[in-house]
Amino acid sequence: MAKLLLRGIELGLVEAVLFDKDGTLSISEPQLITLAKARVFLCLEQVDPALRPQLQDLLERAYGLRNEGKALCPAGITAVAHRDHNLISTATALAQTGLGWPDALAISELVFAKADQGDGRREGRHTSDTTEGLLPFLQQLQGLGVRCAVISNDDVAGIEHFLASHQLSSYFSGLWSAEHQPRKPDPQAVHGLCGVMGVAVEHCALIGDANSDLRMAVAAGIPHQRALGYTAAWSSAPPLNEPHPLIHHWDELRVEAAF
């Protein structure tokens, strides 16, 4: 184990750090905006033109699109929730325009399948950039034997592609995805990941960009001071609840040998 410090203040001993992916390891806002706008466009194609203005407004608000589609709410469903919740939200918006639920759900499933075909993250053509200063911190952790893992609502392929694209795979020894059960933000997701890695929950830190990440960490048994909010990956800072410690740049964190 090693001592984890934030801006010089010791947070305790850790044997592993669990990282959220989108909005923490990766600057995912540009690609998530593209995905959300594609879903909106494809939905509008499926309905009567008279319904399109109402549906566009419903979908943009549900997805968290802001500033005429130039920004994304970091606490919104596109940014935080897994694909299934986004699909149900889409069907709900369609139903609010007067469609029956079976039709709304069928259109949502069709739209998501089409949007997935054009999603560069899934096709392997593109990947989000890493957040600034991430690699030196990962190198510090690895140098002192602190293990790293990803806990994300992306799928396994998306997580692995991101890590491989940035030559980060060797720094991570575990992952927990939307394909694992239970999914985050269930605290048992933390226990499942720690069990796979063979580490004690109470000797971990968790870093994420959403209040659901931080609540999950504390509920799972990670000490409050090591449930850390990361703020620097979005065009507007995520609305993270105090008094969780907040990280504004990776260089604010460091690890030291524990003697």
Q: What is the pLDDT of residues 18-47, one digit of tens each?
A: 999 999 999 999 989 999 999 999 999 999
Tell me how far CA of residue 6 lies from CA of 86, 152, 220, 252, in angstroms. 34, 23, 22, 6
* pLDDT in the model for residue 241: 80
**Long-range contacts for 56-62 (Cβ within 8 Å, ≥24 apart)?**
58/93, 58/96, 58/97, 59/90, 59/93, 62/89, 62/90, 62/92, 62/93
In angstroms, the first-to-last Cα distance of the chain is 9
Taking the C-alpha atoms of residue 192 and residue 176, their distance in angstroms, rounded to an integer, is: 8
Whether residue 120 is predicted with pLDDT greater than 90 in this model: the reply is: no
Overall pTM surpassing 0.85 (yes/no)? yes
Contacts of residue 106, defined as CB under 8 A and 6 or more positions apart, other chains included, come to none
Whether residue 125 is predicted with pLDDT greater than 60 in this model: the reply is: no
Mean pLDDT over residues 126-135, rounded? 90
* pLDDT in the model for residue 223: 95
For CA atoms 177, 183, 185, 191, the dihedral sign is: negative
Question: Residue 168, CB half-sphere, CA atoms under 13 Å: how many?
Answer: 28
Average per-residue pLDDT for the chain: 93
Write down all domains in the chain, each with its CATH number in brackets. 2-28+128-257 (3.40.50.1000), 29-123 (no CATH)
Mean pLDDT over residues 226-240, rounded? 94
- Are 188 and 213 in contact, with CB atoms under 8 Å apart? no
- At residue 121 the predicted structure's pLDDT band, cuts being 50, 70 and 90, is low
* pLDDT in the model for residue 8: 96
Q: Lowest mean pLDDT: which of 58-62, 70-74, 145-149, 228-232? A: 70-74
Task: Give the model confidence (pLDDT) of 174-224 as tens digits.
Answer: 999 999 999 999 999 999 999 999 999 999 999 999 999 999 999 999 999
Whether residue 148 is predicted with pLDDT greater than 80 in this model: the reply is: yes
Q: DSSP assignment of 72-112, as one string?
A: E-TTSHHHHS-HHHHHHHHHHHHHHTT--HHHHHHHHHHHH
Taking the C-alpha atoms of residue 67 and residue 53, their distance in angstroms, rounded to an integer, is: 17
Q: Quick one: what percent of the chain has pLDDT higher than 90? A: 86
* pLDDT in the model for residue 180: 94
Contacts of residue 222, defined as CB under 8 A and 6 or more positions apart, other chains included, come to 190, 201, 202, 204, 205, 206
Whether residue 243 is predicted with pLDDT greater than 90 in this model: the reply is: no
Tell me how far CA of residue 187 lies from CA of 163, 195, 215, 238, in angstroms. 24, 13, 8, 21
* pLDDT in the model for residue 67: 87
Q: ∠ CA 236-71-239 to the nearest 5 degrees?
A: 30
* pLDDT in the model for residue 126: 62
* pLDDT in the model for residue 116: 85
* pLDDT in the model for residue 128: 87
- Helical packing angle, 83-96 and 101-117, nearest 10°: 130
Whether residue 119 is predicted with pLDDT greater than 70 in this model: the reply is: no
